[in-house]
Structure 1
Amino acid sequence: MRLVLPLAIAALVAAAGIASAQTVDSEEHRFQVQVLAEGFSHPWGLAFLPDGRMLVTERGGRLNLLDANGNNRRTVEGTPSVATENQGGLLDVILHPDFEETPWVYLSYARPSSEGNATAVGRGLLDGEQLTDFEVLFVATPYTGGGRHFGSRMAFDEDGYLYISTGDRGQRDRSQELDNHYGKIIRLTDDGQIPDDNPFLDQRDAQPGIYSYGLRNPQGMIRHPETGEIWINEHGPRGGDEINIIGPGLNYGWPKVTHGREYHGPRIGPESMDGMEDPLHHWTPSIAPSGFAYYDADVFPAWQGNLFVGALAQTHLARLVVDNGEVVHEERLLDDAGWRIRDVRQGPDGALYLLVDQRRAPLVRLSPAD
């Protein structure tokens, strides 16, 4: 992969957010990298409205509404108060699956309280440039201090159930315990109720919203459009970043099982153990994955069926080829740009859209060059 224009020019575009296109040659496609808008403060989540407009969250608490070309940015009012501490703030945004009939916008965020903060999810009706009737649907208890590992991605499955990822909040052993929401995948109805087939409903002292557990800090989530399964990516400690396929009642091992190490060097545990799920794929050393997309549009035909993952630590966009449940090839895109890629989404036009995590950040579109 190479930038056709000189790297120094590309670096200036990345830093300044100049809305011009750079051309990139990759293994399968030649594409343009265009900065549509700039000046976002640590953007986190991106969602497309049915008419092509975009909602973009900023960690500091602002929800932005932009037109399909990234212009005419407005602030959506009626969002909740957030705890903007370290990794916490306003995080993911998704739409109700029947948005055109019931225009609910779902937000995940760090919710403040006198006892600390917690990953929370709420929803409001989008009415022009305002969220009305905002209601809190879920809070990952217990509240705690600090600003680490909120998780906080969301997705709906084909039956309309809402999945929410939560991080271990730096208290890793609690990921293996079912009496709390740390390090879990939560499954709810679209209005925040507990589905009657959740796997731990009949288990004493288990939180009924838990669908699966043993996770560290999942920051990417998709519904696989072919299988209907929920797939996640998550941060390991020092190595052991993972892609996992989520199933009811399954234990994904953290911290008993991991490919990662303590930050001061020693191993944390074995790489595999009976009764715990092995990842579909792992990165060691870590890339710090965040943002996740399955590509199935026509404008990049050779990318159909590929996974795209944003990398924060190693500043690139990973393209993964999956065959028979195994990642058989990986390509690193945009590794010359120096972008901490926080989110990646397939747009309604078939292009890929990226959010970059920095203080003055761009919104980027990848589209065919030919």
Structure 2
Amino acid sequence: MKRIIYILFSFLLMSCHAQEKPNDMQLHDEIIAYTFETVADGIPIPWGMAFLPDGSLLVTEKSGKLYHIQNKIKTEVKNVPTVYLRGQGGLLDIALHPNYAQNGWIYITYASTEGEGTGGNTKLIRAKLENESLTQIESLYKCAPNTTKGQHFGSRIVFDNQGYLFFSVGERGEQFVNPQDISRDNGKIYRLHDDGRIPTDNPFVGQPNAKEAIFAYGARNPQGMAKHPTTGAIWEHEHGPKGGDEINIIKKGANYGWPVVTYGLNYDGTVITSVKEKEGIENPLYYWLPSIAPSGMAFVTSNRYPNWKGHLLVGSLKFQYLELVKLNGTSIVGRQKIATDIGRLRNVIEGPDGYIYMGVEGKGIIKIIPN
């Protein structure tokens, strides 16, 4: 009888523990029902991808090159700004204005040496593409100060349904200085008008010394961001330290906790903080233990993948696969490996043709074709 009671108690304890720890969710392998097609090779670290209205593709390469891919022919775009190439810094994300067909604006983030201090920091520009060259380049935002550290530049760019531009920037390796301080750049999610103006309803407008472009703060290194196709909310994921990668839904003025709360450890295994939750700090929608090193993020809306539609795709740099994060509304209910052992998966997007495209380090751009 005592043994039965002990087993029942242990089962209940494990059940409660599993409910408290979303990372315990089992990762399943996908039954292979697709093939891969290389769209462009010879791109060592393909960072950002954006499809033009004619179906051609713009791809940023971290070392500072921008490629225009048409019918599998890769052309290098000229007049790309010089990047600060160090560690995780370089040429980063790229996105089109929602009304690109009318105004032609392209938005790019990259590590730049411009401004105060030695080294570099993340910068946002916009430009137009004419005759395979960037023209009319405008500077919209530059994080400061520069630093020679090579960590945590971010960065992704997303427009919401109201036409606001969101972009993410990591805390540049200054975890105890930048992310919790709204008077400092870095470790933040920013919101701007499409021309770089700061919206008057941003949460910290008018606060003394605040960086008024900040929309949310307390981020570590956000390298995935996407607009939910139904709700229009901006979803973000970010690298934790040793463990504790997170998925968050971005809210106005919200604090996402780094490094006050985290599910991760320092890389040497020492404790950063024992606090996992705290009043006034947003809990992650989901967190990974162990870390998968997430990069790139896309909601599947295409009918080409019936079993994936309505769910979320996230690339894993560490484990070199594409992960399908299964959703029920805003709840995460399952995980599945896609494209196992594909390589360090830097980005994933859904193209206008409904196909999924992956940016894989050392391989280039790969298209997933359902059988």
User: Does residue 1:161 correspond to 2:164, yes or no?
Assistant: yes
1:20 is matched with none
Tell me, in whole angstroms, the C-alpha distance in 2 between the residues paired with 1:45 and 1:106.
11
1:44 is matched with 47
2:8 is matched with none
Tell me, in whole angstroms, the C-alpha distance in 2 between the residues paired with 1:311 and 1:222.
16
Q: CA deviation at 1:303?
A: 1.1
Which of 173, 179, 186 is the matching residue for 1:170? 173
Which of 171, 182, 186 is the matching residue for 1:182? 186
Which of 195, 201, 204 is the matching residue for 1:200? 204
Q: Deviations over 1:122-165 (max 9, x none)?
A: 01111131111111110011211121100111100011110010
User: SS at 1:100's partner residue?
Assistant: helix
Q: CA deviation at 1:28?
A: 6.8
2:364 is matched with 362
Which of 245, 248, 252 is the matching residue for 1:244? 248
User: SS at 1:101's partner residue?
Assistant: helix
1:57 is matched with 60
Q: CA deviation at 1:357?
A: 2.1
User: SS at 2:307's partner residue?
Assistant: helix
Q: CA deviation at 1:193?
A: 0.5
1:311 is matched with 316
**TM-score, normalised via structure 1 length:** 0.89
User: Does residue 1:267 correspond to 2:271, yes or no?
Assistant: yes
In the alignment, is the contact (CA less than 8 A) between 1:152 and 1:166 conserved in 2? yes
1:146 is matched with 149
1:30 is matched with 33
Q: CA RMSD in A?
A: 1.4
Tell me, in whole angstroms, the C-alpha distance in 2 between the residues paired with 1:228 and 1:139.
27
Q: Deviations over 1:291-320 (max 9, x none)?
A: 000000111122111100000011110001
In the alignment, is the contact (CA less than 8 A) between 1:79 and 1:134 conserved in 2? no
User: SS at 2:150's partner residue?
Assistant: coil
Amino acid at match of 1:101: Q
User: SS at 2:100's partner residue?
Assistant: coil
2:112 is matched with 111
Q: CA deviation at 1:362?
A: 2.1
Q: Percent identity?
A: 44
Q: CA deviation at 1:324?
A: 3.6
User: Does residue 1:230 correspond to 2:228, yes or no?
Assistant: no
Which of 211, 214, 220 is the matching residue for 1:216? 220
1:5 is matched with none
2:286 is matched with 281
Greater CA radius of gyration, 1 or 2? 2
Q: CA deviation at 1:27?
A: 4.1
Q: How many corresponding residue pairs? A: 340
Amino acid at match of 2:349: R
Which deviates further from its counterpart, 287-296 or 143-152?
A: 143-152
Tell me, in whole angstroms, the C-alpha distance in 2 between the residues paired with 1:280 and 1:150.
23
User: Does residue 1:290 correspond to 2:326, yes or no?
Assistant: no
Which of 103, 122, 126 is the matching residue for 1:123? 126
Tell me, in whole angstroms, the C-alpha distance in 1 between the residues paired with 2:367 and 2:283.
34
1:336 is matched with 341
Note the residue ranges of structure 2 that are not aligned, 5 or more in a row: 1-27
**TM-score, normalised via structure 2 length:** 0.89
Which of 303, 326, 334 is the matching residue for 2:331? 326
User: SS at 1:305's partner residue?
Assistant: coil
Tell me, in whole angstroms, the C-alpha distance in 1 between the residues paired with 2:202 and 2:103.
25
Tell me, in whole angstroms, the C-alpha distance in 2 between the residues paired with 1:78 and 1:58.
14
User: SS at 1:81's partner residue?
Assistant: coil
User: Does residue 1:100 correspond to 2:105, yes or no?
Assistant: no
Note the residue ranges of structure 1 that are not aligned, 5 or more in a row: 1-24
Amino acid at match of 2:239: H
In the alignment, is the contact (CA less than 8 A) between 1:343 and 1:355 conserved in 2? yes
Which of 233, 258, 262 is the matching residue for 2:262? 258
